[in-house]
Chains A and B, each alone.
Chain A
Amino acid sequence: MTRADWIRLALIVGALALLEAACRYGYVSRDAVIPPTRMFEGAWRAVTSEETRADIWLTLQNVTLSLILSLIVGAAVGLLLHKATRLRRALDPLLASYYAVPTFVFYPLFIVLFGLNRWPLIAIGFLFAVVAVIINTLDGLARIPRAFVRTAAVMRLTRTQYALHIILPAAAPWFFTGAKFAVAYSFIGVIAGEFVVSGAGIGHAIAFAYNSFDNRMMYGLIVLLFVAVGSVNTFLSIWERRLYARRAGR
């Protein structure tokens, strides 16, 4: 573990200990926030309950599907817009203001389009994530040094060789950043959609626990979400660090 990892761990443990003490000694109302130890109990209850496990499994499937779709479509659209300079210029302001649009308003439309099944939620997760991938792909492609492009011409590379051996590795760090955003946005899109409009999934289970005043289950599910998103992002960060350590001369 690096020094930064230890500091991160110390901050998390410290914050949890502080919250535990604040809850136990009555500085924070237990009706609003429960001690972290109770949250972990709730998380364990969620994991061991068959019904909640089905919700978790459904959400993870939906997030994975929306993530895969957003990565493929986002990278393809990014490449296309990079080539179509005029179209990109026309779309730039729209992409920049995209996240100001509340994507959930399209949920009724998606129900009409896809029916009452998992796909409207996947579509929301996809819409949340795809633009982050497009923007980062465009950024990565724009940052490919001109010398690389000219070197490829001097080496008389074919289009496929150029794409596979120059564009892909040169833009990979930015694509990776887009993928990390896409993970977070897919979770946000799918779970928030479940929270507001769905009858199943972690988001729905959180909303149900909230409406039933079951704080332990509600916070337990939130803890599980933190652990899931944190684990995926930590895995991606470690992979990225290992992949680019030597490229950066470390």
Chain B
Amino acid sequence: MSAEHLRLTGVTRIYPALEGHPAVHALGRIDLSLRQGEFFSVVGPSGCGKSTLLDVIAGLAKQTAGTILFEGKPVAGEVPDGIGVVFQEDASFPWLTVYDNAAFALRRAGVPDGEVRERVQHTLTFTGLMSFASAYPAQLSGGMRQRLCIARTLVMRPRLLLLDEPFGALDQQTRLLMGDELLKLWRETGATVLLITHSLDEAALLSDRIGVMSARPGVFIDLVETGWAHDRDSRIVSETAFGAVTARLWGALRDQSIKALAMAS
């Protein structure tokens, strides 16, 4: 059994009342433990607090209550060393080439030029972007731009990779292929991955374990072990067990999605 990498205990997030709007209890209470090198996905209805969960784990937002321990150290409102985040939106810098985008964080961190070159070349080769090193993001497809954002995060060698619906804007076929690439990267880097997604198929395909969240305030209502081999790819979608996993996810989610829709309207 791998060591515990991330632990959340009693985490909640309440957005305070603001200019006539009442306070919003967005998240929790959340108790969760991720193993070192685990691929964990979070699914849940719209507005259930999935992205809020990612924000508090990353230190981009402070939890209202509870504790978050990353590698045994508390996280509270500041991004700790060793955590990388890829957002749903295209966050590539349009004024920099692919190479400079990938090198950006390393240069700002004062990493020596030689090491920057080595790490960027390795990561761009690894993500299939090396032949586009001198291109600008606007010259790439949406999928390649998202791959660039992943490369820019991976180059920092994060030990915990947080992905907030990184393929949300891509078509289904590209998503499946990107999923394969993500699995490859995950195996190569050995990082722990927490993926936020609204796609049940994506969660079922990629994950070792899936947390199903309730409608707001989001809490985990089911934890599904997929039981996939470490060396898996998108071909598992044709397996019977894949259907069983997605069916279980939907079984847990259906009522919550209806509740979330009713809340939204």
Contacts and interface: CB of A to CB of B under 8 A. Distances in A.
Nearest to A250: B138
A246 B136 contact: yes
A154 B105 CA distance: 10
Contact of A150 (B85, B93, B153): B85
B14 interface: no
Given A150-B60, A246-B136, A249-B139, A155 B91 contact: no
A151 interface: yes
A105 interface: no
Contacts of B93: 148, 166, 169-170
A165 B94 CA distance: 12
A25 to B, nearest CB: 52
A172 B83 CA distance: 30
A247 B135 CA distance: 10
A145 interface: yes
Contacts of B153: 154
B242 interface: no
Interface of B: 58, 60, 79, 81, 83-85, 87, 89-91, 93-95, 104-105, 108-109, 136, 138-139, 153, 156
Given A153-B60, A246-B136, A249-B138, A165 B85 contact: no
Given A154-B85, A249-B138, A169 B95 contact: yes
A150 B60 CA distance: 7
Contact of A145 (B84, B91, B95, B105): B91
Contacts of A155: 104-105, 108-109, 156
A182 B254 CA distance: 57
Nearest to A246: B136
B7 to A, nearest CB: 21
Interface string A148-165: 101101111100010001
A169 B90 CA distance: 16
A3 interface: no
A247 B60 CA distance: 28
A166 B95 CA distance: 10
A4 interface: no
A13 to B, nearest CB: 35
A247 B138 contact: yes
Contacts of A154: 58, 60, 79, 83-85, 153
Interface of A: 145-148, 150-151, 153-157, 161, 165-166, 169-170, 172, 246-249
A21 to B, nearest CB: 46
Given A169-B93, A247-B94, A150 B87 contact: yes
B140 to A, nearest CB: 8
A170 B104 CA distance: 14
A153 B138 CA distance: 24
A151 B87 contact: yes
B79 A156 contact: yes
Contacts of A161: 108
**6 nearest interchain CB pairs?**
A249-B138, A147-B91, A147-B89, A169-B95, A155-B105, A154-B85
Given A150-B60, A169-B93, A249 B136 contact: yes
Contacts of B85: 150-151, 154
A155 B93 CA distance: 13
B57 to A, nearest CB: 12
Contacts of B90: 147
Given A161-B108, A165-B104, A151 B91 contact: yes
A146 B89 contact: yes
Given A148-B93, A151-B85, A154-B79, 4 more contacts: A150-B60, A154-B58, A246-B139, A247-B136
A151 to B, nearest CB: 5
Contacts of A246: 136, 138-139
A145 B89 contact: yes
25 contacts: A146-B89, A147-B87, A147-B89, A148-B93, A150-B60, A150-B85, A150-B87, A151-B87, A153-B60, A154-B58, A154-B60, A154-B79, A154-B83, A154-B85, A155-B109, A156-B81, A165-B108, A170-B93, A170-B95, A172-B95, A247-B94, A247-B138, A248-B138, A249-B138, A249-B139
Nearest to A161: B108
